Protein backbone atom coordinates (compact mmCIF):
# COMPACT_ATOMS: atom_id res chain seq x y z
CA UNK A 1 0.00 0.00 0.00
CA UNK A 2 2.81 2.38 1.01
CA UNK A 3 4.61 1.67 -2.29
CA UNK A 4 1.39 2.32 -4.23
CA UNK A 5 0.91 5.68 -2.50
CA UNK A 6 4.54 6.54 -3.14
CA UNK A 7 4.21 5.81 -6.86
CA UNK A 8 0.95 7.75 -7.00
CA UNK A 9 2.48 10.91 -5.49
CA UNK A 10 5.62 10.61 -7.64
CA UNK A 11 3.40 10.30 -10.72
CA UNK A 12 1.47 13.41 -9.65
CA UNK A 13 4.72 15.31 -8.96
CA UNK A 14 5.55 15.37 -12.70
CA UNK A 15 2.12 16.45 -13.94
CA UNK A 16 2.62 19.72 -15.80
CA UNK A 17 -1.05 20.74 -15.85
CA UNK A 18 -1.38 20.35 -12.10
CA UNK A 19 1.91 22.22 -11.61
CA UNK A 20 0.56 25.15 -13.64
CA UNK A 21 -2.80 25.11 -11.86
CA UNK A 22 -1.12 25.02 -8.46
CA UNK A 23 1.03 28.01 -9.41
CA UNK A 24 -1.94 29.96 -10.73
CA UNK A 25 -4.37 29.32 -7.92
CA UNK A 26 -1.82 28.73 -5.18
CA UNK A 27 -2.73 28.67 -1.51
CA UNK A 28 -1.89 30.55 1.62
CA UNK A 29 1.80 29.82 1.79
CA UNK A 30 2.16 30.48 5.48
CA UNK A 31 -0.05 27.44 5.83
CA UNK A 32 2.30 25.18 3.92
CA UNK A 33 4.22 22.80 6.07
CA UNK A 34 7.23 22.47 3.80
CA UNK A 35 7.58 25.93 2.18
CA UNK A 36 9.01 28.97 4.00
CA UNK A 37 7.09 31.67 2.13
CA UNK A 38 5.84 32.95 -1.15
CA UNK A 39 8.71 35.37 -1.76
CA UNK A 40 12.27 36.16 -0.73
CA UNK A 41 11.15 38.67 1.93
CA UNK A 42 9.17 35.98 3.78
CA UNK A 43 11.92 33.43 3.28
CA UNK A 44 14.63 35.82 4.55
CA UNK A 45 12.68 36.45 7.75
CA UNK A 46 12.30 32.72 8.30
CA UNK A 47 16.00 32.12 7.62
CA UNK A 48 16.97 34.78 10.15
CA UNK A 49 14.93 32.92 12.78
CA UNK A 50 16.48 29.58 11.77
CA UNK A 51 19.99 31.10 11.94
CA UNK A 52 19.21 32.59 15.35
CA UNK A 53 18.29 29.10 16.54
CA UNK A 54 21.80 27.91 15.62
CA UNK A 55 21.25 26.31 12.20
CA UNK A 56 22.79 27.15 8.86
CA UNK A 57 20.59 27.13 5.76
CA UNK A 58 20.50 26.47 2.06
CA UNK A 59 17.75 28.42 0.32
CA UNK A 60 15.93 27.13 -2.75
CA UNK A 61 13.68 29.15 -5.03
CA UNK A 62 11.10 26.54 -6.01
CA UNK A 63 10.81 25.74 -9.69
CA UNK A 64 11.50 22.86 -12.05
CA UNK A 65 10.84 21.50 -15.54
CA UNK A 66 10.56 25.03 -16.95
CA UNK A 67 9.77 24.94 -20.67
CA UNK A 68 10.08 28.55 -21.81
CA UNK A 69 13.10 30.82 -22.00
CA UNK A 70 11.56 33.80 -20.26
CA UNK A 71 10.59 31.79 -17.20
CA UNK A 72 14.05 30.20 -17.12
CA UNK A 73 15.69 33.65 -17.15
CA UNK A 74 13.33 34.84 -14.41
CA UNK A 75 14.38 31.86 -12.29
CA UNK A 76 18.04 32.78 -12.75
CA UNK A 77 17.30 36.41 -11.79
CA UNK A 78 15.51 35.20 -8.68
CA UNK A 79 18.57 33.13 -7.68
CA UNK A 80 20.76 36.23 -7.97
CA UNK A 81 18.17 38.21 -6.04
CA UNK A 82 18.26 35.58 -3.28
CA UNK A 83 22.08 35.74 -3.12
CA UNK A 84 21.93 39.52 -2.76
CA UNK A 85 19.31 39.20 -0.03
CA UNK A 86 21.50 36.69 1.85
CA UNK A 87 24.33 39.24 1.73
CA UNK A 88 22.17 42.30 2.58
CA UNK A 89 20.58 40.65 5.60
CA UNK A 90 23.79 38.93 6.74
CA UNK A 91 22.14 35.50 6.57
CA UNK A 92 24.16 32.31 7.02
CA UNK A 93 22.83 30.59 3.93
CA UNK A 94 23.94 28.82 0.81
CA UNK A 95 21.79 28.52 -2.33
CA UNK A 96 20.41 25.37 -3.95
CA UNK A 97 18.92 25.28 -7.44
CA UNK A 98 17.57 22.90 -10.05
CA UNK A 99 18.94 22.98 -13.58
CA UNK A 100 15.51 22.41 -15.14
CA UNK A 101 14.37 25.65 -13.49
CA UNK A 102 17.13 27.43 -15.45
CA UNK A 103 16.02 25.81 -18.70
CA UNK A 104 18.03 22.56 -18.94
CA UNK A 105 15.26 21.13 -21.13
CA UNK A 106 15.43 24.15 -23.46
CA UNK A 107 19.12 24.81 -24.08
CA UNK A 108 22.37 23.91 -22.33
CA UNK A 109 23.88 27.22 -23.46
CA UNK A 110 21.12 29.12 -21.67
CA UNK A 111 21.74 27.12 -18.48
CA UNK A 112 25.51 27.65 -18.56
CA UNK A 113 25.09 31.34 -19.16
CA UNK A 114 22.69 31.67 -16.20
CA UNK A 115 24.79 29.47 -13.94
CA UNK A 116 27.90 31.56 -14.56
CA UNK A 117 25.96 34.73 -13.65
CA UNK A 118 24.63 33.07 -10.48
CA UNK A 119 28.04 31.71 -9.50
CA UNK A 120 29.67 35.09 -10.11
CA UNK A 121 27.13 36.68 -7.75
CA UNK A 122 27.78 33.86 -5.26
CA UNK A 123 31.52 34.41 -5.51
CA UNK A 124 31.11 38.14 -4.94
CA UNK A 125 28.97 37.60 -1.83
CA UNK A 126 30.62 34.43 -0.54
CA UNK A 127 27.61 32.19 -1.16
CA UNK A 128 28.06 28.55 -2.19
CA UNK A 129 25.67 27.21 -4.82
CA UNK A 130 24.62 23.55 -4.84
CA UNK A 131 23.14 22.07 -8.01
CA UNK A 132 20.37 19.72 -6.85
CA UNK A 133 20.11 16.37 -8.62
CA UNK A 134 16.89 15.71 -10.52
CA UNK A 135 15.70 12.58 -12.31
CA UNK A 136 17.97 9.95 -13.91
CA UNK A 137 17.44 11.30 -17.41
CA UNK A 138 19.20 14.52 -16.40
CA UNK A 139 21.85 13.05 -14.10
CA UNK A 140 24.68 12.69 -16.67
CA UNK A 141 24.15 16.21 -18.04
CA UNK A 142 24.02 17.66 -14.53
CA UNK A 143 27.33 16.04 -13.58
CA UNK A 144 29.00 17.19 -16.83
CA UNK A 145 27.87 20.74 -16.13
CA UNK A 146 29.10 20.52 -12.54
CA UNK A 147 32.53 19.28 -13.68
CA UNK A 148 32.89 22.05 -16.24
CA UNK A 149 31.97 24.72 -13.70
CA UNK A 150 34.06 23.21 -10.92
CA UNK A 151 37.21 24.00 -12.87
CA UNK A 152 36.13 27.68 -12.92
CA UNK A 153 34.47 28.15 -9.52
CA UNK A 154 35.27 27.27 -5.92
CA UNK A 155 31.71 27.95 -4.76
CA UNK A 156 29.83 25.20 -6.60
CA UNK A 157 28.63 21.85 -5.29
CA UNK A 158 26.24 19.14 -6.40
CA UNK A 159 24.24 16.14 -5.23
CA UNK A 160 24.55 12.36 -5.67
CA UNK A 161 21.67 9.91 -5.18
CA UNK A 162 22.27 6.59 -3.43
CA UNK A 163 19.42 4.84 -5.26
CA UNK A 164 21.21 4.96 -8.64
CA UNK A 165 23.52 2.11 -9.65
CA UNK A 166 25.79 4.58 -11.44
CA UNK A 167 26.50 6.71 -8.36
CA UNK A 168 29.44 4.76 -6.95
CA UNK A 169 31.32 5.27 -10.21
CA UNK A 170 30.28 8.93 -10.35
CA UNK A 171 31.55 9.49 -6.83
CA UNK A 172 34.98 8.06 -7.71
CA UNK A 173 35.07 10.07 -10.92
CA UNK A 174 34.26 13.29 -9.05
CA UNK A 175 37.06 12.67 -6.57
CA UNK A 176 39.47 14.45 -8.94
CA UNK A 177 37.38 17.63 -8.66
CA UNK A 178 37.72 18.14 -4.89
CA UNK A 179 33.91 18.18 -4.83
CA UNK A 180 31.48 19.69 -2.34
CA UNK A 181 28.88 16.92 -2.35
CA UNK A 182 25.49 16.42 -0.76
CA UNK A 183 24.61 12.74 -0.72
CA UNK A 184 20.93 11.74 -0.50
CA UNK A 185 18.83 8.63 -1.05
CA UNK A 186 17.01 10.07 -4.11
CA UNK A 187 13.48 11.42 -4.49
CA UNK A 188 12.30 10.58 -8.02
CA UNK A 189 10.52 7.59 -9.50
CA UNK A 190 13.16 5.56 -11.33
CA UNK A 191 13.05 2.20 -13.08
CA UNK A 192 14.82 -0.88 -11.66
CA UNK A 193 17.01 -0.70 -14.78
CA UNK A 194 18.81 2.28 -13.27
CA UNK A 195 18.00 2.33 -9.54
CA UNK A 196 17.86 -0.13 -6.64
CA UNK A 197 14.19 -1.04 -6.21
CA UNK A 198 14.60 -2.16 -2.57
CA UNK A 199 14.96 0.37 0.23
CA UNK A 200 17.36 -1.95 2.04
CA UNK A 201 19.80 -1.84 -0.91
CA UNK A 202 19.48 1.94 -1.20
CA UNK A 203 20.34 2.29 2.50
CA UNK A 204 23.37 -0.01 2.18
CA UNK A 205 24.60 1.87 -0.89
CA UNK A 206 24.04 5.17 0.91
CA UNK A 207 26.30 4.10 3.78
CA UNK A 208 28.94 2.86 1.35
CA UNK A 209 28.96 6.18 -0.55
CA UNK A 210 29.17 8.31 2.58
CA UNK A 211 32.10 6.26 3.83
CA UNK A 212 33.89 6.42 0.47
CA UNK A 213 33.48 10.16 0.17
CA UNK A 214 34.61 10.85 3.73
CA UNK A 215 37.62 8.54 3.46
CA UNK A 216 38.49 10.20 0.14
CA UNK A 217 38.86 13.33 2.28
CA UNK A 218 36.00 15.21 0.61
CA UNK A 219 33.51 17.48 2.35
CA UNK A 220 30.27 15.55 2.74
CA UNK A 221 26.78 16.89 3.36
CA UNK A 222 24.56 14.03 4.50
CA UNK A 223 21.00 14.94 3.45
CA UNK A 224 18.75 12.60 5.39
CA UNK A 225 16.13 12.30 8.15
CA UNK A 226 16.97 8.65 8.75
CA UNK A 227 18.18 7.82 12.29
CA UNK A 228 20.05 4.72 11.13
CA UNK A 229 22.08 6.68 8.57
CA UNK A 230 22.81 9.46 11.07
CA UNK A 231 24.00 6.91 13.65
CA UNK A 232 26.19 5.34 10.99
CA UNK A 233 27.84 8.70 10.23
CA UNK A 234 28.51 9.20 13.94
CA UNK A 235 30.16 5.75 14.10
CA UNK A 236 32.32 6.60 11.09
CA UNK A 237 33.32 9.85 12.75
CA UNK A 238 34.59 7.98 15.82
CA UNK A 239 36.11 5.01 14.03
CA UNK A 240 38.06 7.05 11.47
CA UNK A 241 38.60 10.28 13.43
CA UNK A 242 36.74 12.29 10.82
CA UNK A 243 36.97 15.97 11.78
CA UNK A 244 33.60 17.67 12.29
CA UNK A 245 34.49 20.36 9.80
CA UNK A 246 34.57 17.70 7.05
CA UNK A 247 30.87 16.94 7.13
CA UNK A 248 27.44 18.27 8.01
CA UNK A 249 23.90 17.00 8.27
CA UNK A 250 21.17 18.50 6.12
CA UNK A 251 17.40 18.18 6.53
CA UNK A 252 14.39 19.70 4.85
CA UNK A 253 12.51 22.63 6.38
CA UNK A 254 9.64 21.39 8.53
CA UNK A 255 10.79 17.76 8.79
CA UNK A 256 12.03 16.08 11.99
CA UNK A 257 12.66 19.36 13.79
CA UNK A 258 13.37 17.65 17.13
CA UNK A 259 16.10 15.57 15.47
CA UNK A 260 17.56 18.71 13.87
CA UNK A 261 17.70 20.29 17.34
CA UNK A 262 19.30 17.24 18.90
CA UNK A 263 22.13 17.14 16.34
CA UNK A 264 22.74 20.86 16.73
CA UNK A 265 22.97 20.48 20.51
CA UNK A 266 25.42 17.61 20.05
CA UNK A 267 27.65 20.08 18.23
CA UNK A 268 27.12 18.93 14.66
CA UNK A 269 26.75 21.38 11.81
CA UNK A 270 23.08 21.18 10.85
CA UNK A 271 21.86 22.80 7.64
CA UNK A 272 18.18 23.31 6.88
CA UNK A 273 17.04 23.28 3.24
CA UNK A 274 14.53 26.12 2.99
CA UNK A 275 12.35 26.31 -0.14
CA UNK A 276 10.27 29.35 -1.04
CA UNK A 277 8.16 30.56 -3.97
CA UNK A 278 4.90 29.71 -5.67
CA UNK A 279 6.05 26.62 -7.61
CA UNK A 280 5.48 24.38 -4.60
CA UNK A 281 3.59 21.58 -6.26
CA UNK A 282 6.28 19.08 -7.41
CA UNK A 283 8.34 19.63 -4.27
CA UNK A 284 5.38 18.98 -1.97
CA UNK A 285 4.30 15.88 -3.93
CA UNK A 286 7.77 14.34 -3.49
CA UNK A 287 7.59 15.02 0.27
CA UNK A 288 4.23 13.21 0.33
CA UNK A 289 5.74 10.29 -1.58
CA UNK A 290 8.46 9.99 1.07
CA UNK A 291 5.88 9.87 3.81
CA UNK A 292 2.23 9.49 2.80
CA UNK A 293 1.28 10.18 6.45
CA UNK A 294 2.10 13.82 5.68
CA UNK A 295 -0.94 14.05 3.45
CA UNK A 296 -3.10 15.29 6.32
CA UNK A 297 -0.68 18.15 7.10
CA UNK A 298 -0.67 19.24 3.49
CA UNK A 299 -4.43 18.99 3.04
CA UNK A 300 -4.94 21.06 6.20
CA UNK A 301 -2.54 23.64 4.72
CA UNK A 302 -4.32 23.76 1.37
CA UNK A 303 -7.78 24.28 2.80
CA UNK A 304 -6.80 26.61 5.64
CA UNK A 305 -7.98 30.15 5.04
P1 LIG B 1 13.73 7.82 4.45
O2 LIG B 1 14.08 6.39 4.56
O3 LIG B 1 12.83 8.25 3.33
O4 LIG B 1 13.11 8.35 5.79
C5 LIG B 1 13.68 8.06 7.06
C6 LIG B 1 12.79 8.65 8.12
O7 LIG B 1 12.80 10.07 7.99
C8 LIG B 1 11.32 8.27 7.97
O9 LIG B 1 11.03 7.08 8.61
C10 LIG B 1 10.62 9.45 8.61
O11 LIG B 1 10.69 9.32 9.99
C12 LIG B 1 11.52 10.61 8.20
N13 LIG B 1 11.08 11.28 6.95
C14 LIG B 1 11.59 11.13 5.72
N15 LIG B 1 10.97 11.91 4.83
C16 LIG B 1 10.01 12.55 5.52
C17 LIG B 1 9.01 13.49 5.16
N18 LIG B 1 8.86 13.92 3.91
N19 LIG B 1 8.20 13.92 6.16
C20 LIG B 1 8.35 13.51 7.45
N21 LIG B 1 9.26 12.61 7.83
C22 LIG B 1 10.08 12.15 6.89
N23 LIG B 1 16.60 14.20 -3.49
C24 LIG B 1 16.99 14.26 -4.77
O25 LIG B 1 16.66 13.38 -5.56
N26 LIG B 1 17.78 15.32 -5.22
C27 LIG B 1 18.20 16.29 -4.38
O28 LIG B 1 18.92 17.20 -4.83
C29 LIG B 1 17.81 16.24 -3.02
N30 LIG B 1 18.19 17.19 -2.14
C31 LIG B 1 17.89 17.03 -0.82
C32 LIG B 1 18.37 17.95 0.11
C33 LIG B 1 18.19 17.74 1.46
C34 LIG B 1 18.73 18.72 2.44
C35 LIG B 1 17.46 16.58 1.90
C36 LIG B 1 17.27 16.29 3.37
C37 LIG B 1 16.93 15.71 0.99
C38 LIG B 1 17.12 15.92 -0.37
N39 LIG B 1 16.59 15.06 -1.30
C40 LIG B 1 16.99 15.15 -2.61
C41 LIG B 1 15.54 14.07 -0.91
C42 LIG B 1 16.12 12.71 -0.60
O43 LIG B 1 16.58 12.10 -1.78
C44 LIG B 1 15.06 11.81 0.06
O45 LIG B 1 13.98 11.66 -0.81
C46 LIG B 1 14.53 12.33 1.38
O47 LIG B 1 15.56 12.92 2.14
C48 LIG B 1 13.93 11.17 2.19
O49 LIG B 1 14.91 10.22 2.48
P50 LIG B 1 15.57 10.03 3.93
O51 LIG B 1 17.05 9.90 3.74
O52 LIG B 1 15.14 11.11 4.83
O53 LIG B 1 15.13 8.60 4.41
CA 120 to ligand 1 centroid distance, Å: 30
C-alpha 206 chain-centroid distance: 16
Which atom of ligand 1 is least distant from the CA of 251?
Answer: 36
**What are the pLDDT digits (tens) for 163-200?**
999 999 999 999 999 999 999 999 999 999 999 999 99
Distance CA 102, CA 107 (A): 9
**What are the pLDDT digits (tens) for 286-297?**
878 877 777 665
| Residue nearest atom 53 in ligand 1 by C-alpha distance | 226
Residues 6+ apart with CB under 8 A from 145: 99, 108, 111, 112, 115, 131
Predicted pLDDT at 11: 80
* Higher pLDDT pick, 47 / 299: 47
* Higher pLDDT pick, 7 / 155: 155
CA-to-CA separations, 150 to 52, 129, 131, 133, 155, in angstroms, rounded: 32, 11, 11, 16, 8
CA 110 to ligand 1 centroid distance, Å: 30
Which atom of ligand 1 is least distant from the CA of 229?
Answer: 51
Q: Are 266 and 275 in contact (CB under 8 A)?
A: no
**Nearest residue to 290 via CA among 212, 204, 202:** 202
Strand partners, 273: 58, 252
Residue 304 has pLDDT above 60, yes or no: no
CA 290 to ligand 1 centroid distance, Å: 7
Distance CA 177, CA 166 (A): 18
Q: Which mutation among 65, 135, 226 tests ligand 1's pocket best, with the greatest number of atoms within 8 A of CB?
A: 226
Residue 33 has pLDDT above 80, yes or no: no
**What are the pLDDT digits (tens) for 47-71?**
999 999 999 999 999 987 888 999 9
Which atom of ligand 1 is least distant from the CA of 132?
Answer: 28
CA-to-CA separations, 24 to 18, 43, 86, in angstroms, rounded: 10, 20, 27
Measured from CB, residues less than 6 Å from any atom of ligand 1 are 132-133, 159, 161, 182, 184-188, 223-226, 250-252, 255-256, 273, 287, 290-291, 294
Q: Count CB atoms within 10 A of the CB of residue 112.
A: 15
Active site residues: 132, 182
Average pLDDT for the chain = 91
CA 16 to ligand 1 centroid distance, Å: 23
Q: Which mutation among 96, 180, 185, 190 tests ligand 1's pocket best, with the greatest number of atoms within 8 A of CB?
A: 185
**What are the pLDDT digits (tens) for 256-278?**
999 999 999 999 999 999 999 88
Which atom of ligand 1 is least distant from the CA of 294?
Answer: 19
Predicted pLDDT at 31: 44
Residue 195 backbone dihedrals phi, psi, to 5 degrees: -135, 145
Domains contained in the chain, CATH given:
35-279 (3.20.20.220)
Binning pLDDT at 50, 70 and 90, where does residue 15 land?
Answer: confident
Considering only CA atoms, give the Rg of the chain: 18
CA 152 to ligand 1 centroid distance, Å: 31
Residue 117 has pLDDT above 60, yes or no: yes
Distance CA 303, CA 305 (A): 6
Amino acid sequence: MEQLMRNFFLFLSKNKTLTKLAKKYGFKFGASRFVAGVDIEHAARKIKEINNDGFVVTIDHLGEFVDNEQEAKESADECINAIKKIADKGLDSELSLKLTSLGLDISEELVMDSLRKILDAGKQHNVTVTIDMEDYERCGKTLDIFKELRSEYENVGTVLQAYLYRTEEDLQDLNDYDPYLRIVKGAYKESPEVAFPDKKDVDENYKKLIKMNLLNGNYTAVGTHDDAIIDYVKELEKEHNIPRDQFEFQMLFGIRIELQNRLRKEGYKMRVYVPYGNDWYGYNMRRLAERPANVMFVLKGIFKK
